[in-house]
Structure 1
Amino acid sequence: MKLSTKGRYGVKAMFELALSYGDGPIALNSIADKQNLSVHYLEQLFSNLRKAGLVKSVRGAQGGYILARKPEDITVGDIIRTLEGPLAPAECVIENDSKECYKADYCVTRTIWEKIRDSINNVVDSITLQDMINDYKKMNNNDSYMYYI
């Protein structure tokens, strides 16, 4: 299973907003510059993030976007599922999907796909934007990490 640029860029952009949480709105141009992303592409992503209630838009000359909730209240899973849809390695194990496989009762691989799905969801739901900020600060305050091989 591989995330598309939607999920990867969305997490990067939300991280930038989290770094500036409480400092006012951040323009998409600024996020695009810092993360080397396309402004046009970010506009599309932020439209979905806004509809999902993860960001708020602020109009005006000093406008931009802010997080709709505190960084500790937004998970990587929230972002990825908003932009990518359900996280599952196979169609037959997508949660809340009405499609039922007629082989489900005797499909030995289905349990594998369910375990993979659950593991992925547990990981992305356990990491908040605040966790990412904390990791970033540790990495940038401790130059000695570069010397470990």
Structure 2
Amino acid sequence: MKYSKATNYALHTMVFLTLAPKGKAIGVEPLAKMQDLSATYLSKILTKLVKAGLIESTPGAKGGYTILKKKEDISFLDVIQAVEGQTNLFRCSLEHDSFMPHNGCLIEQAMQDVETKMQETLSQKRLVDIASQIEQTEKNPFFKM
């Protein structure tokens, strides 16, 4: 299984925003620069995070992005679903009714069980846990701000 690069950038962006000083909006340019991305590409990802209600955008010279939800409540799964959507990773392409009536696809059922367990794990992983590990080092991107 592989998530898109957009999910990778969204997770990193959310950790950066979690690390930002309280009340400080961070513009798209510094967020993009930290990840060596174009601001245009990152803006598309940020739009998805805004639509999901994870962050908010403040326009203007001192504007930028800030975490909207309580930081402690944001899980990896929240960010992944904001970018990737909530569709299942596996869908059976065969019609099983002819040889397995009423059972559906056993392979799809097994894959959905695994996906459910993965989602449970991702919902327990919090961005603040990663941010707190970074805060303990001088590698915090906002250490000198």
Structure 1 and Structure 2 fold alike (TM over 0.5) = yes
Aligned mates of 2:40, 2:23 — CA distance in 1: 24
Task: Provide the alpha-carbon RMSD of the alignment.
Answer: 2.2
- Is contact 1:87–1:120 with CA below 8 Å preserved after alignment? no
Q: How does 1:7-18 map to 2 (within 5 A)?
A: 7-18=7-18
Which residue of 1 is the match for residue 122 of structure 2? 124
Contact 1:54-1:69 within 8 A present in 2 as well: yes
Which SS does the other structure have where 1:65 is aligned? strand
Output one character per residue of 1:40-74: Cα deviation in whole Å (capped at 9) or x when no partner: 11110111111111111111111100000122111
Structure with the bigger percentage of helix: 1
Give 5+ residue unaligned stretches, structure 1: 93-100, 142-149
Provide the C-alpha distance between the structure 1 equivalents of 2:8 and 2:65, rounded to a whole number of angstroms. Answer: 18
Highest RCO, 1 vs 2 (Cα 8 Å, sep ≥ 6): 2
Matches within 5 A, 1:1-149: 1-86=1-86, 88-91=88-91, 102=97, 105-137=103-135, 140=137
Name the TM-score, length of structure 1 as normaliser: 0.79
How far is the alpha carbon of 1:106 from its aligned partner?
Answer: 4.6
CA contact (8 A) 1:21 1:71 kept: no
Distance 2:34 2:112 in 1: 37
| Aligned length, in residue pairs | 133
Q: d(CA) in 2 for partners of 1:91 and 1:81? A: 18
Gaps of 5+ in 2: 139-145
The answer to whether the Cα contact below 8 Å between 1:48 and 1:82 also exists between their aligned partners in 2 is yes
Aligned in 2, Cα 1:61/1:118: closer, same or farther, shift over 3 Å? same
The share of aligned pairs that are identical, in percent, is: 28
